[in-house]
Each structure stands twice: as structure tokens, then as C-alpha cells.
Amino acid sequence: MIEKEEIDRIIEEYDKEKIAVGTIGSHSALNIFKGAKEEGLRTVCICRERDKILYQRFPVADEIIVVDDFSSLIDDEIQEKLRRLNVILIPHGSFNAYISMEEILNSLYVPIFGNRKLLSWEIDREKQRRWLQQAGLNLPKIFDNPEEIDRLVIAKFPGARGGKGYFLASSPENFKEKTEKMIRYGQLKEEDLERIYLQEYILGVNAYFQYFHSILNDEVELLGMDKRYESAVDSIGRIPASEQLQIDLNPTYTIVGNIPITLRESLLPEVLRMGDNVVEVSKRIAPPGIIGPFCLETIITDKLEIYTFEISARIVAGSNVGIGTSPYAYLKYGEGMYMGRRIAMEIRHGSEREELEKIVY
Ligand code: AMP
Ligand code: AMP
């Protein structure tokens, strides 16, 4: 694992007048780059040829480095180029999806805005659960064995991201029937069966809270909120129940976009306390805790109970709904604040106060 001291040495060499923000071109890159530019930082986009049009048409990337594959981020020459450009990398959902945790921890010698140590907590569902439990959050029940299924559960594939490949099951027989079918159709591998994660299905609406933990100001900010727009589950209600039964319809949860929401004001004190508690625990399990953006992914029931089913310890794509501004960011900062910009502001402050080593790992 790359030692913190090694990253500190790299950042020490950087030209502080020319700090650049870099990330791979997908997920929330536009959000990150726009924010960086508004804070007066340079931007570097590592992108694939086929996506280049996006970062040219929206003029937010000062430099575009074209790669065949995102995993090239690990290549020595790319890393060297990034260091030469004084780049601080902002990890987002595509890092986990396209680059292995081992590579990020052991081979990426470019400073990252965020806490590398928390990565192992985030991608391991059991560790993540312990973290959230210690923070006192309500969590859906977990079923270790399909034989124990006694209510509606949502089955999650290992490594599934963005909701792709989730399915529902209501009994051990129902689970068996569905997975056998999926194996037959090649949608599931026999060996993955063991690693399916079975979570109680919470009936309610989803709400994703976007927070920012400022290490420099020692404060947790609530900056935005969204809900998911998923295919095909969000369109099932448009088909009459009789047709649904005829075609044996199963909801799927492929994320297509995000929709901004605001919450009943009476729920907000709890949302703020949840964010604070999660950060407090993160300081214990991986000092100095979460650096910058994180998101609690929740379902809120008709009894107004908030169940957290996941945490992302990085910028989430849902924060794209706030590019420009969002109600909660507005309440704190007035116009023009959003997650990408808040990240860049922290980096700018870190640089100005000569405290960058507190926020890069
Ligand atoms: P993409 O760049 O669209 O291929 O996305 C990279 C990763 O981020 C994938 O694992 C996606 O499932 C996830 N992702 C992309 N957009 C969103 C979104 N709006 N909400 C949640 N996850 C997303
Ligand atoms: P994810 O990709 O993990 O953010 O979730 C994909 C979809 O599954 C979202 O619509 C969530 O609201 C939904 N979901 C995930 N876990 C649960 C749960 N335990 N109960 C109900 N819905 C869930």
C-alpha cells in the first residue's frame, strides 16, 4: 500500500500556483470540472476517444488525455504526466467500476482528494454495514442464507453498481426458481450464487443525501438531495397489472438519471445527525475519516423511518442535479455552490493555507 508520506512528498513538489483537478471522463466529471474552473483551478480529463465529444462540447476541460481504457490511469507515463500537471485526482463511481481497489491502493502515485483507506470499507458490504451500524442508523435486515427468506428481499449481485442486475425474491422457493432461470440464461454464474447479498426490501421511496465533510473547517454540510430514475422499475406503473402478470414482469434497476428532491423539513434534523454520526465513526475506523463528499442512500417509509442501505464515500452522480445550485447548497452558500465546486473550494483553501497534505491521500 502506498504510504501517506509518499503522497505528501509528491504534493510538496507540486507548483501550488498551478494546481489542477483531474478525473476520468464519465459519471460526474462535468460537475467536478465546472466546479474546479469556477474556483480558478485548471482541469485535466482522462477520457476515451468515444467520449471526447462531451468534454469538448462543454468547455470545462483544459487538458484532455485520451486513453484506450480507463485502467490506463495506472500506466507510468500517464501518472507521470498527471504529476507534471500538478493534478489532484477526484475519485468518482467510475474509479471503483473500472480500476481495481488494489491498483488504487498500491499503484496510483497521484494525490487523491479523499481517504484511500476508506475505500476498503466502502466496497466490502460487511465492513460497510458495521460502519453504518456503529453510526446508529436504521439498516435493512440481511439474510445470510436464502433458506431464511421470510419477506420480500432485494438480491444484489457482487460488485453490481448503479442497480444493474438486482432482483426481488419473496421466499426460498421463489429465490431458487429465479436464480436457476438466470443461470440458464447466462445472466448469473453458478459461483456468484454464494456471493449474492440478500437485503430486506424496504417499502418506501428512495432518497439520496449528499454531504460534504470539510476537514479544514471541521464541519459536515448537507449540499443536495436526489432520487433515482431507473429503468425499468420506474415505468412499471405505466403498464396495467393484468399485463404485468401476463408477461411475468420483474423490476430491474438500471440507473438512467437522477431527479432533484427536497425533503419534509421535519426530517432534516435527523438527516443532519445521520451525516455527523457517519463521519464520527469514519474518524475512528480510518483516521482522519471521510474527506469531502459522501452520500447516504436511503429508503423512507410511510412511518417516516429512514433506512440506509448503502454509503458512498465519494462524489455521487446524483449530485449532478445540483450543478449550478440546489436548495440546500443555496441555504448555506447562496447561489452557485454545488458538489464539484465545493470540492475545488476545499482544495483551493488547502493550497492557500498550505494544508493540502490534510486533504490528499
Ligand atoms: P458510467 O460512466 O455511466 O459508465 O458510470 C460509471 C459507474 O458509475 C457505473 O458503475 C454506473 O453504474 C455508475 N453511475 C453512473 N451514473 C450514475 C448515477 N447517476 N447514479 C448512480 N450511479 C451511477
Ligand atoms: P443502488 O444501485 O444500490 O443505489 O440501488 C438501486 C435501487 O434499488 C434503488 O432504486 C434503490 O432504491 C433500490 N434499493 C436498494 N436497496 C433497497 C432496499 N433494501 N429496499 C428497497 N429498495 C432498495
pLDDT tens-digit series, residues 10-27: 999 999 999 999 999 999
State residue 160's pLDDT score: 54
pTM above 0.85, yes or no: yes
The CATH number of whichever domain residue 180 belongs to comes to 3.30.1490.20
Do 134 and 95 share a structural domain?
no
Work out how many domains the chain is built from and give that number.
Answer: 3
186-231 pLDDT tens trace: 888 888 888 899 999 999 999 999 999 999 999 999 999 999 999 9
State residue 105's pLDDT score: 93
Q: Does residue 232 have its Cβ closer than 6 Å to ligand 1?
A: no
Mean pLDDT of the region 251-270? 96
Average pLDDT taken over every residue of the chain: 95
Q: Is the pLDDT of residue 164 over 90?
A: no
CA of 277 to the centre of ligand 2 (A): 22
State residue 39's pLDDT score: 98
DSSP-based three-state secondary structure for 3: coil
State residue 158's pLDDT score: 72
Q: Which ligand is nearest to the CA of 157?
A: 2
What range does the domain containing 152 cover?
142-200
Q: Is the pLDDT of residue 33 over 90?
A: yes
Residue 325 belongs to some domain of the structure: yes
DSSP-based three-state secondary structure for 48: strand
Atom from ligand 2 closest to the CA of residue 161: 2
Do 261 and 131 share a structural domain?
yes
Residue 344 belongs to some domain of the structure: no
Mean pLDDT of the region 149-155? 97
Do 320 and 285 share a structural domain?
yes
The secondary structure of the chain in percent helix, strand, coil, rounded to multiples of 5, reads: 45, 25, 30
Give the separation between CA 18 and CA 358, rounded to whole angstroms: 19
Residue 181 belongs to some domain of the structure: yes
Q: Which ligand is nearest to the CA of 159?
A: 1
State residue 159's pLDDT score: 64
**Which residues lie across from 88 on neighbouring strands?**
21
* Percent of the chain clearing pLDDT 70 (strictly above): 99
Ligand 2 binding pocket mutation candidate from 259, 261, 297 (most atoms within 8 A of CB): 297
State residue 98's pLDDT score: 92
Ligand 1 binding pocket mutation candidate from 255, 259, 311, 312 (most atoms within 8 A of CB): 255
DSSP-based three-state secondary structure for 226: strand
The CATH number of whichever domain residue 101 belongs to comes to 3.40.50.20
CA of 214 to the centre of ligand 1 (A): 25
State residue 113's pLDDT score: 98
Q: Which ligand is nearest to the CA of 310?
A: 2
CA of 163 to the centre of ligand 2 (A): 7
Q: Does residue 258 have its Cβ closer than 6 Å to ligand 1?
A: yes
Q: In the structure, what pLDDT confidence band is assigned to residue 282 with cuts at 50, 70 and 90?
A: very high
Residue 283 belongs to some domain of the structure: yes
H helices of 197-262, in order, are 241-246
Do 196 and 308 share a structural domain?
no
Q: In the structure, what pLDDT confidence band is assigned to residue 97 with cuts at 50, 70 and 90?
A: confident
